[in-house]
């Protein structure tokens, strides 16, 4: 669809259901179970092992700093240590625990989280201020370096944790603490206060959540203020640096593109800088665009969306190719083996896309959300929920593996909280409409225009494209059901109570629309064809020239050495090669693999030579591709998403 | 040829002629002129600007350290600063100046070098010790860290500079200084002394040069001692670390493979660790194998030669793919864009190969020497002699360029001294034989068995394979002329005084052998066919799978964006594509380019899409390849050696 279409889309606010309102089974159900039964506990335990409780507990002695300012890769040199983000790690850990408690009671974990919350309550200063780093490790320096030090970012993650924990347990303690903190932040940065905003965006989207759960519009207004101010001149970070006695030009990352404050957000038209920051900013912008009906933001967001999706998104939904700035580089620069493609960035893309859907159903956004969720994001979490990727390359020589922890542990709780809250991404609910953005076995208890509506999806998605949705209502209820027809799907069939619907006529912005008085027991069946597809990259992506990727449904596939008779780098896919999709219940927790025939260059006749004039001989080889998200869950070896072939 | 052939090759010592004995014209003549007229002065000036003179001049105050111990890329963390190698930079700068003075008088530069030599003479301690780093910057620590601190390495480069300067100018001052220093080193590390040897090999080959020019066999014996000791247990670097109070395990590079001391050199069978160190070690080993007729070294060297040439040499003669250890990684790991392939390493390969030729003519070594010289080594120097590559990648997105200086400035004087001394690599002279290893317009004044022999080569090599060699003797002289038949040449014709020689019968180890009483005016003509050739890499080199490189004669070619209608990454070479080789006198100082027709993926019909299911359309494009060594001498853009194509 064009930008004009998007701008003309119906003006409505589609809000996500609360996490406990959707019971998820099937593919995502298994992943949520892994998070609830393993990851949530692991996250808490790793935070403890890192020493975070010593930093936040006011009743213990102030600890020595344990993570140096100067990191191996010279990351912002001497001003940053990942230890200053510990409040955010705990915030996301609390959030993950909260969603996990929806799924499965865990009194032991709940008690530990309560204890952490008690520490924060005791740590909070009388004026409301709350930062374990600035209060305990760097006293006297609060609000002196918003550019580098993540102070408001940490507040944002604690807010998100507080909202989730309140919704999960009904316990208000952390929510009250964070409201007091935000009241303080308003006194500092609100109307008539300092001009500042955070170098790492996050608090904006968190404030929207806080406003929605508390109904306090001041929080929403503060989020808007942070967004409106960003990148205005005179530049806040210049003045702030000078006030510290620093020369603004000494900023390690050289350009304010790094934190998307190089120009006012409404003027931005290229996705630049640190990828996670960008995604979080755009998420907050989308929330504010939705809540305020702000078309000036919406137009900027659509420009940025186009830029990302036409020039800098990996086929897996990963983004941000460079480790140097943890972010974006040149147009069409998408290296595969060295791809940074941080898990948090794909998580952030899911955040952004889901919030664009707040402005109405549009497959342009939902397709991308689904892509990131099923591929570049969930790849960050091992099948057993115990180990994590920070980088998500599309090619490996066999030396890239998930780790148990990281001194910058942002990704583990980020993919965990997203996974555990996936139910809220499946639907969007407006006053007179429900949008189904994602398919999968699940039951949602929604309220549409004040009426309870239960939607039960029965499906083996993503392994099979057949979806049956049963509607349960107490009385006939009129609302519009928007059903996403995925962009990857070449042929879809839709029926209501067995009667075929003319999809071409019913589809707008990639969603089939059914407006009717829904009766109890009505059913909708959707059949989404899932052929194996080949994808080619724009030839301006030099790293993918002459290569092909495989997709089936929402899943991008890869070749792993363990499944194939020769390393993937030696495999070439002829254009006429055909694939059979086969579900293997015992593989990778149950997965559909793609089996086919390809060619490999022979090595037998090289006789020790490294180079020769005669081309290598080709020999036929059977190959097997597995979903990308599941790679590196078995024995290590080469992996490739982009295969040589025409 | 097999190893057995190599082992059975005639036992003779072929020594290189002195640099001034060969007048070089043509291709290398132009490069030497660039070094003599520009580079030599630039090197001196850059050393001055870096502050080196302040460090070595005992009459000036001891300067503050200017290059920190802790480098950006965490290179050996806190123990090393490149400032500790400054004596080596000056040594190579003196050596370059010396060879340049052969070519072209430069009294101003000579006076400056004399002044530097005076400083060293004044700096030398009464006991002979000489190290500006340890004497001026780190007094009291001499010989405490041979593993990391390049102390003997610096001595080696000063020795090489001293020998060259003595040969060029007849001035003995630096030579005498270095002999006194080596006498001191013998007193410390010689018979009955400490067991040590240098973590960065270099002094071994330098001591051979010193022994040859002075006739002092003790210097040769010390070189052999350093080689024999290397890697023996108990390990010297373990004991040395403990004596410093360090734990040996804290060695930054983790394994003594880094400096090839992981096992005794005669047991080594894999080329490992830091590439330059490896090449310098093997060069010294080859010299000692030649001088002592030591077959145990020769066998080890042939094993290492096979390993390098069958698993880890770039098609350009570059080597050492990784920046992390500036060296070798896994078998067949030859990444193109991220190739480290340090200029010094290719220079080092030329050193090693030339010294293997000391044991007799063998194209196995000479082919590799020629490959490194014409491609991966000389690429390190711009055509104008003013800028330098440290890394020599085989692919670039257009962001890799030569620089004017580097804080680890090892490469500029290394490629400069090699270029300026190229004449000594062309020939090998034994008692009754002359080997012609390289071709090119030049005149050599040699002495064979006490008789003067002048060989005049007339050739447009490497642009044309026709070579005419005229023999000038005072009286008929019997000797064997060994003429290399390059491995790249599919068809060669040889004639003596117009009479065809049966090459198949005359060729052994890749050299045509003509033994006769040479008369004044005898001529030899050699016609080496130079078709454009395609090269394919062993399919185990995953980075080159499905790719092809172009070679003509000794030159590897590449595509640069500036010569082509689309960026090289979009070009695909069909198997049937033909090339025309065309000399262009005004291009790159005069060069033969390869012009042909290829295909490119079209971008016009993508309509902003980043991915799609339909394969890209192909369109024919004319392409032009230029010699790899000459890349990045014009406007920047993409470059590729390995082109997509069958």
Q: Whole-prediction pTM value?
A: 0.92
Q: Are strands B571-573 and B643-645 parallel, antiparallel or unpaired?
A: parallel
| Stronger pLDDT, A484 or A66, i.e. the higher one | A484
Q: Best of B546, B571, B610 to disrupt the A interface by mutation (most A CBs within 10 Å)?
A: B610
Residue B69 has pLDDT above 80, yes or no: no
What is the average pLDDT across B270-298? 97
Q: What are phi and psi of A467, to 5 degrees?
A: -130, 130
pLDDT given at position B11 = 57
Residue B354 has pLDDT above 90, yes or no: yes
User: How far apart (Å, rounded) are the C-alpha atoms in residues A365 and A372?
Assistant: 11
Which residue in chain A has the smallest CA separation from B550?
A: A613
pLDDT given at position B642 = 98
Q: Which CA distances in Å does A564 have to A69, A567, A638, B542?
A: 44, 7, 10, 15
pLDDT given at position B294 = 94
pLDDT digits (tens, 9 = 90+) for B145-204: 999 999 999 999 999 999 999 999 999 999 999 999 999 999 999 999 999 999 999 999
Confidence of residue B585 (pLDDT cuts 50, 70, 90): very high
pLDDT given at position B70 = 54
Q: Which CA distances in Å does A616 have to A85, B289, B577?
A: 52, 38, 17
DSSP B65: P
Residue A364 has pLDDT above 60, yes or no: yes
Q: Which CA distances in Å does B625 have to A615, B537, B585, B610?
A: 20, 19, 15, 29
Whats the size of chain A, residue-wise? Answer: 646
Cβ distance B638 to A542 less than 8 Å, yes or no, reads yes
Which residue in chain A has the smallest CA separation from B315?
A: A611
Residue A3 has pLDDT above 70, yes or no: no
pLDDT given at position A408 = 82
Query: Nearest 5 degrees, angle CA A450-CA A456-CA A462?
Result: 130
Which residue in chain A has the smallest CA separation from B330?
A: A397
Q: Please list every residue in chain B whose beta carbon sits closer than 8 Å to the beta carbon of residue A533.
A: 613
> Percent of chain A having pLDDT more than 90?
92
Residue B447 has pLDDT above 50, yes or no: yes
Confidence of residue B8 (pLDDT cuts 50, 70, 90): very low
Q: Is A427 helix (H, G, I), strand (E, B) or coil?
A: strand
Mean pLDDT of chain B: 94
Cβ distance A537 to B610 less than 8 Å, yes or no, reads yes
- CATH T-level topology, domain B3-426: Glycosyltransferase (1.50.10)
CB A451 within 8 A of CB A434: no
The position carrying tokens 């989020």 is A223
Residue B577 has pLDDT above 70, yes or no: yes
Q: Please list every residue in chain B whose beta carbon sits closer than 8 Å to the beta carbon of residue A548.
A: 615
Residue A359 has pLDDT above 60, yes or no: yes
Which residue in chain A has the smallest CA separation from B396?
A: A542
pLDDT given at position B119 = 98
User: How far apart (Å, rounded) are the C-alpha atoms in residues B196 and A41?
Assistant: 53
Q: Are strands A618-627 and A591-601 parallel, antiparallel or unpaired?
A: antiparallel
Nearest neighbour of B615 by CB, restricted to A309, A614, A646: A646
Which of B410, B411, B489, B558 does the annotation list as catalytic?
A: B410
Q: Nearest CA of chain B to the CA of A59: how many Å?
A: 38
Quote the crossing angle between the two packed helices B363-371 and B295-311, to the nearest 10°.
Answer: 50
CB A33 within 8 A of CB A416: no
Cβ distance A610 to B313 less than 8 Å, yes or no, reads yes
Tokens of A552: 């089936």
pLDDT given at position A78 = 55
Nearest by Cα to B260 from B328, B313, B160: B328
Which residue in chain B has the smallest CA separation from A335?
A: B337
Query: DSSP string of A486-546?
Result: -TT-S-EEEEETTEEE-HHHHEETTEEEEEEEEPTT-EEEEEE---EEEEEE-TT-GGGTT
pLDDT given at position B518 = 98
pLDDT given at position B6 = 42
Cβ distance B536 to A611 less than 8 Å, yes or no, reads yes
Q: Nearest CA of chain B to the CA of A159: how many Å?
A: 37
pLDDT given at position B409 = 86
User: How far apart (Å, rounded) are the C-alpha atoms in residues B580 and A52?
Assistant: 68
Residues 6+ away with beta carbon under 8 Å from A384:
A34, A38, A633
- Residue B621 CB coordination number (10 Å): 17
Q: Nearest CA of chain A to the CA of B180: how many Å?
A: 43
Confidence of residue B71 (pLDDT cuts 50, 70, 90): very low
Q: Nearest CA of chain A to the CA of B494: how many Å?
A: 24
Q: Best of B538, B554, B639, B642 to disrupt the A interface by mutation (most A CBs within 10 Å)?
A: B538
Residue B58 has pLDDT above 90, yes or no: yes
Q: Please list every residue in chain B whose beta carbon sits closer than 8 Å to the beta carbon of residue A72.
A: 74
Nearest neighbour of B538 by CB, restricted to A72, A548, A609: A609
CB A90 within 8 A of CB A161: yes
User: Under CATH, to which class is A431-528 assigned?
Assistant: mainly beta
> Percent of chain B having pLDDT more than 90?
92
Cβ distance B315 to A611 less than 8 Å, yes or no, reads yes
Q: Best of A2, A545, A571 to disrupt the B interface by mutation (most B CBs within 10 Å)?
A: A545
Q: Please list every residue in chain B whose beta carbon sits closer than 8 Å to the beta carbon of residue A306.
A: 608
Residue A326 has pLDDT above 50, yes or no: yes
Confidence of residue B84 (pLDDT cuts 50, 70, 90): very high
Tokens of B345: 């390493």
pLDDT given at position A82 = 87
Cβ distance B546 to A546 less than 8 Å, yes or no, reads yes
Q: Nearest CA of chain B to the CA of A610: how many Å?
A: 5
What is the average pLDDT across A597-615? 96
Residue A646 has pLDDT above 80, yes or no: no
E strand or H helix that includes residue A164: helix A151-169
Confidence of residue B13 (pLDDT cuts 50, 70, 90): confident
Q: What are phi and psi of A393, to 5 degrees?
A: -65, 160
pLDDT digits (tens, 9 = 90+) for A387-398: 999 999 999 999
Q: Please list every residue in chain B whose beta carbon sits closer than 8 Å to the beta carbon of residue A315.
A: 611
Q: Nearest CA of chain A to the CA of B522: how many Å?
A: 36
pLDDT digits (tens, 9 = 90+) for A385-437: 999 999 999 999 999 999 988 778 889 999 999 999 999 999 999 999 999 99
- Domain spans of chain B, in order of start: 3-426, 431-528, 534-645
What is the average pLDDT across A10-39? 91
Q: Best of B317, B367, B577, B611 to disrupt the A interface by mutation (most A CBs within 10 Å)?
A: B611
User: How far apart (Å, rounded) are the C-alpha atoms in residues B226 and A153?
Assistant: 58
Confidence of residue B363 (pLDDT cuts 50, 70, 90): very high
Which residue in chain A has the smallest CA separation from B399?
A: A330
Cis check: omega of the bond before A118, within 30 degrees of 0 = no
Which residue in chain B has the smallest CA separation from A535?
A: B613
The region of weakest confidence among A77-91, B89-103, B466-480, B484-498 is A77-91
Cβ distance B615 to A535 less than 8 Å, yes or no, reads no
In total, the C-beta contacts within 8 angstroms joining chain A to chain B are 119
Cβ distance B646 to A74 less than 8 Å, yes or no, reads no
DSSP A390: S
User: How far apart (Å, rounded) are the C-alpha atoms in residues B579 and B595?
Assistant: 5
pLDDT digits (tens, 9 = 90+) for B590-644: 999 999 999 999 999 999 999 999 999 999 999 999 999 999 999 999 999 999 9
Query: Nearest 5 degrees, angle CA A466-CA A480-CA A435?
Result: 55
What is the average pLDDT across A127-141? 96
Confidence of residue A11 (pLDDT cuts 50, 70, 90): low
Q: Please list every residue in chain B whose beta carbon sits closer than 8 Å to the beta carbon of residue A313.
A: 610
What is the average pLDDT across B451-459? 98
Q: Nearest CA of chain A to the CA of B315: how many Å?
A: 7
């Amino acid at each position: 669809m064009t930008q004009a279409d998007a701008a003309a889309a119906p003006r409505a606010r589609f809000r996500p259901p609360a996490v406990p309102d959707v019971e998820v089974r099937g593919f995502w159900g298994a992943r949520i179970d892994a998070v609830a039964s393993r990851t949530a506990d692991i996250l808490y335990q790793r935070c403890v092992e890192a020493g975070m409780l010593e930093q936040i507990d006011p009743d213990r002695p102030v600890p020595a700093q344990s993570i140096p300012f100067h990191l191996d890769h010279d990351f912002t040199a001497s001003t940053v240590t990942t230890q200053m983000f510990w409040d955010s790690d705990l915030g996301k850990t609390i959030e993950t625990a909260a969603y996990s408690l929806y799924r499965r009671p865990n009194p032991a974990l709940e008690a530990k989280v309560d204890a952490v919350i008690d520490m924060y309550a005791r740590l909070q200063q009388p004026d409301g201020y709350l930062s374990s780093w600035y209060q305990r490790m760097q006293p006297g320096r609060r609000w002196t370096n918003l550019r580098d030090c993540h102070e408001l970012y940490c507040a944002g993650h604690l807010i998100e944790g507080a909202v989730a924990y309140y919704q999960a347990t009904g316990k208000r303690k952390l929510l009250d603490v964070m409201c007091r903190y935000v009241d303080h932040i308003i006194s500092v940065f609100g109307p008539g206060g300092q001009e500042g905003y955070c170098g790492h965006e996050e608090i904006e989207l968190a404030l929207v959540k806080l406003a929605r759960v508390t109904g306090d519009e001041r929080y929403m207004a503060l989020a808007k203020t942070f967004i409106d101010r960003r990148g205005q001149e005179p530049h806040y970070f210049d003045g702030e640096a000078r006030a510290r006695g620093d020369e603004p030009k000494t900023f390690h990352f050289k350009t304010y593109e790094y934190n998307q404050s190089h120009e006012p957000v409404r003027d931005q038209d290229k996705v630049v800088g640190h990828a996670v920051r960008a995604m979080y900013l755009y998420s907050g912008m989308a929330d504010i665009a939705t809540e305020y009906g702000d078309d000036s933001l919406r137009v900027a967001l659509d420009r940025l969306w186009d830029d990302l999706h036409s020039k800098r998104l990996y086929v897996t939904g990963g983004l941000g190719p460079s480790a140097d700035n943890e972010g974006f580089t040149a147009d069409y620069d998408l290296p595969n083996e060295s791809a940074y493609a941080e898990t948090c960035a794909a998580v952030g893309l899911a955040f952004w896309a889901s919030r664009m859907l707040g402005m109405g159903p549009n497959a342009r956004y939902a397709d991308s959300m689904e892509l990131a969720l099923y591929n570049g994001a969930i790849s960050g979490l091992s099948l057993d929920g115990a180990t994590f990727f920070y980088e998500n390359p599309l090619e490996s020589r066999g030396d890239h593996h998930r780790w148990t922890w990281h001194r910058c542990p942002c990704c583990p709780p980020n993919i965990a909280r997203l996974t555990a809250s996936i139910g809220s991404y499946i639907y969007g609910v407006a006053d007179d409409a429900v949008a189904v953005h994602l398919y999968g076995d699940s039951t949602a208890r929604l309220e549409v225009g004040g009426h309870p509506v239960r939607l039960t999806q029965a499906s083996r998605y993503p392994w099979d494209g057949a979806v049956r949705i049963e509607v349960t209502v107490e009385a006939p209820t009129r609302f519009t059901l928007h059903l996403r027809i995925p962009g990857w799907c070449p042929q879809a069939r839709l029926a209501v109570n067995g009667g075929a619907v003319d999809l071409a006529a019913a589809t707008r912005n990639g969603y089939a629309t059914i407006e009717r008085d829904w009766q109890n027991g009505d059913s909708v069946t959707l059949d989404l064809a899932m052929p194996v597809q080949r994808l080619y990259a724009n030839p301006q992506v030099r790293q993918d020239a002459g290569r092909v990727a495989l997709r089936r449904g929402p899943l991008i596939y890869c070749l792993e050495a363990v499944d194939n008779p020769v390393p993937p780098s030696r495999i070439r896919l002829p254009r006429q090669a055909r694939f059979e999709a086969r579900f293997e219940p015992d593989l990778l927790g149950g997965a559909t693999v793609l089996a086919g025939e390809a060619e490999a260059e022979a090595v037998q006749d090289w006789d020790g030579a490294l180079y020769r004039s005669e081309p290598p001989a080709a020999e036929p080889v059977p190959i097997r591709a597995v979903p990308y998200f599941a790679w590196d869950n078995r024995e290590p070896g080469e992996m490739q998403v982009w295969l040589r072939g025409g």
